[in-house]
Amino acid sequence: MQSSTNNKSKDFSNRAVTVNQAIRVLKRNGIEADETQAGKILDVLYLLAKRFRRLEDPGIVKDLKGKSNT
């Protein structure tokens, strides 16, 4: 994690949410987090968003439906 709270993680250069913004949102919702913790939370959320975006690809969804247990 980079030292400045306004810098975005180098893993996701196109991030729209800064660590500072994440800290403020978390605090508004009763969660105290420092820069490192907020950065890790953002990392997880961006990874989930990236995976979800991949699942929106019709080819991937079709493949997953074919492998379903139901």
Q: Which two tokens stand for residue 14?
A: 């196109």
Confidence of residue 66 (pLDDT cuts 50, 70, 90): low
Q: CA–CA distance from 55 to each of 6, 16, 43 (Å)? A: 30, 21, 19
| Domain housing 29 | 1-70
Q: Which two tokens stand for residue 38?
A: 């907020």
- Quote the CA–CA distance of 56 and 6 in Å, as a whole number: 31
pLDDT at 33 over 90: yes
| pLDDT, position 49 | 86
- Total domain count for the chain? 1
